A and B are shown apart, each in its own frame.
Chain A
Amino acid sequence: MKYNKLAINTPEGLLFGNALYPVTTRRGLVIGGGSVIPELNFTLPTMTINAQSLPAIGAHYKGIVTDAIEHARHLHAPGVIFEFETLLEMTQTPSIGIDLVKIMNEVCEENYVKRGFKSEIRLTPNDLREFDRPPLCRTSSYLDAMWELFDKGSLAGGDLLSIESTGGKEIHDDALMMCDIKASVFALSVLGVRDMKMLWGNIVAIAHKNNKIAAGDTACGFGNTAMVLAEKGFIPKVFAAIVRIVTAVRTLVAIEEGAVGPDKDCGYEGPYLKAITGTPISMEGKSSACAHFSPLGNIAACCADLWSNESVQNIKLLSGMAPTVYMEQLEYDARLMNQALKEGKPTATMLQRLFADSDKSLDPQAIILTPKNVIAISEEIVKGTNYIDASVRAAVKGLDIIEDAFNAGQLLIPEMEIVWIDMLRLALSEIPTDESKFVEEMLPTLEGKFIPSEYGL
């Protein structure tokens, strides 16, 4: 592992809007440079994507960006990042995605040149390799389309490059359903890590070639799937919290490979990455309830440098089109945080504390995200002798934090979940930290579910 000490080792150092290594975009937005910037994410309303609907799709995206910028200017917002997270068809046929980037970038450029308004596009192609079951992580023909969209889409104006990569998910989905932390660690810290190295080595190379920003990844398909399942009562929240911690080790690899941030909005593991690497992060909380519910509405803002709404359909609401509505919500959220920053560190840290304190006692997934606990857990990650060791150490620390808070009467955990703390602790203690031993142990139980050679095993 590249990092063996924390870049930021105090809770105050993790303050929203401030990263140790800010990222400056082509049009001059400074992410993590002293203010929080909204990141607007959007998707199409219910419609079919085909050759006939492409003009209408283009009009949707143009309209979204045009209206959002107009409203952002009306609100005196300093700028906005637009995340273009493509729909499957837009990566499968890269020309569709590239054309849409062009359409949106023209609007951004016009507003920059004529009005001085700064906006930028984060381009997030899909990880299409999931179409193959089990996935061909390294030899899939889908990789060609993905690389093409990264390459030509970035040249078309997608300045920040991201992906929700899915290596190891074929094992992790079952691990979530069975609440099998051992399989979860294997999927994330062996398969996920190996896949991230390959994927991000390539994405960083494309970014460098095109003078663009290799931003970062998110373990959305792992950690957020766990969170959503826990919200529905399908799996214990304690388990989802521990999975979240382990995702940080996996997503860290993007930065080890040369990504500079901001990581992607739905990566709630971002605060750990910020503590370890000092790179800026994007986060989402209460203003992303349009896409999914979470127990992290306020606490997610503690360390945010970009503040996102995850995704909203382009549909008409009473006040206007939904993305424009969310532009306003994000800007007011960011404005409050930026006002606190302007008033000085005592005010800003007080707001950070309020964000944390208002959520931390209500859910184990929240308490592991207080800035203080982020530092404590991140310290365990950087002590790890390898990715597995880092994952297990951090997960055990997370369990300690949860159990201590519960025993002190400071954390609400449903009665039926208490037994899971000991069960998870026992399962974690049985994980060999040596990768080859771990692989040898897991292979017989996972036969046919993944292809070892696709992970270099």
Chain B
Amino acid sequence: MLINNIQYQYFTLNKIKMKEELLSKLSECTELGKINLASPFPPQLKGQNGVDELTREALDSGISPEEVLEALVSGMGVIGDKFSAGKAFVPNMLMAAKAMSAGMAHLKPFFNSGQVKRKGTFVIGTVFGDLHDIGKNLVAMTVEGAGWEVIDLGVDVKPEKFVEVIAQYPDCVVGLSALLTTTMNNMEVVLKAIKEKFPEKIVIIGGAPLSQEFSDKIGATGYSSSPQGAVNLLNQLVA
């Protein structure tokens, strides 16, 4: 009996250790942008399983989808923090985001069934009259990596489009982007249209010429000057 107990405990401990190692590896592969076995990036992990295979393995071994998601988000968080600290480049973030997407594909059935929930839905677009999207894309990618569902409306987005999409995702948070001093005022027009239909809607703004002062002036919920700042702001506003 004693031997059986020891064997059982050893087995359990071993299983916990394997689980921890697998989730840790999953998190690391997400951070480093290792998508799957075939992907050549990063060079030091060439020939090894990536997020795609590890996620499948984790789910098949009985690890809960919530824990898998947590590992993916944690990996993205690490690379996000490195990026914020100037220790990683955008391509590192993008590869990590691609790796995370490979894992998220396996989690899709659990999202659809409601077993696993995202942090929320984030609708983002560059306001009408403005065609700049690099900053907007960065924010979208970073927010998605932090566990949000992102609906990217693209550039030159009219107020009515924002309103239409918000109606489809009533619980969403909205992000507006603009780069030009002549288009930043269009944010106020978009914001007004949104608030007319959805007075309580959380709307955050960002873009090179903007400031907290401008955000306050037009009545936006918040402003961020960086992608990671946008994630922090969302977490703070929605928590």
Does A233 contact B86, Cβ atoms closer than 8 Å?
yes
Does B155 contact A234, Cβ atoms closer than 8 Å?
no
Q: Is the interface of B mostly helix, strand, loop or mixed?
A: loop
Does A46 contact B91, Cβ atoms closer than 8 Å?
no
B94 in contact (CB, < 8 A)? yes
Q: How far is the CB of B223 from chain A (nearest CB, A)?
A: 15
Q: How far is the CB of A180 from chain B (nearest CB, A)?
A: 8
Does B154 contact A46, Cβ atoms closer than 8 Å?
no
Does B86 contact A178, Cβ atoms closer than 8 Å?
no
Q: Which residues on B sit within 8 Å (CB–CB) of A177?
A: 90-91, 94, 134, 137-138
Q: Nearest CB to that of B131 among chain A residues?
A: A130
A452 in contact (CB, < 8 A)? no
Would you list which residues of chain A between 182 and 213 have a CB under 8 Å from chain B? none
Q: How far is the CB of A257 from chain B (nearest CB, A)?
A: 25
Q: Which residues on B sit within 8 Å (CB–CB) of A87?
A: 180, 182
A362 in contact (CB, < 8 A)? no
Does A179 contact B154, Cβ atoms closer than 8 Å?
no
Does A46 contact B89, Cβ atoms closer than 8 Å?
no
Q: Which residues on B sit within 8 Å (CB–CB) of A173?
A: 133-134, 137
Q: How far is the CA of A49 from the CA of B155 in the complex (A)?
A: 19
Q: Which residues on B sit within 8 Å (CB–CB) of A130?
A: 131
Q: How far is the CB of A174 from chain B (nearest CB, A)?
A: 9
Does A234 contact B131, Cβ atoms closer than 8 Å?
no
Q: How far is the CB of A177 from chain B (nearest CB, A)?
A: 5
Q: Which residues on A sit within 8 Å (CB–CB) of B9?
A: none
Does A313 contact B137, Cβ atoms closer than 8 Å?
no
Size category of the B interface is 20 to 34
Q: How far is the CA of A416 from the CA of B154 in the complex (A)?
A: 32
Interface string of B61-105 (1 = CB under 8 A from A): 000000000000000000000000011111100100000000000
B156 in contact (CB, < 8 A)? yes
Q: How far is the CA of A229 from the CA of B90 in the complex (A)?
A: 9
Does B185 contact A235, Cβ atoms closer than 8 Å?
no
Q: How far is the CB of B139 from chain A (nearest CB, A)?
A: 12
Q: Which residues on B sit within 8 Å (CB–CB) of A162?
A: none
Q: Which residues on B sit within 8 Å (CB–CB) of A233?
A: 86, 89
Q: Which residues on A sit within 8 Å (CB–CB) of B154?
A: 133
Q: Which residues on A sit within 8 Å (CB–CB) of B209?
A: 46
Q: Which residues on A sit within 8 Å (CB–CB) of B180?
A: 87
Q: Which residues on B sit within 8 Å (CB–CB) of A416?
A: 87-89
Can you sample 21 A-B contacts with CB below 8 Å?
Answer: A43-B182, A46-B182, A46-B184, A46-B185, A47-B185, A48-B185, A88-B129, A88-B131, A133-B154, A133-B155, A173-B134, A176-B134, A177-B90, A177-B137, A178-B94, A179-B89, A179-B91, A229-B134, A234-B89, A235-B89, A235-B91
9 additional A-B residue pairs with CB within 8 Å, beyond A87-B182, A229-B90, A235-B91: A46-B182, A46-B184, A47-B185, A88-B129, A88-B182, A89-B129, A89-B182, A173-B134, A416-B87
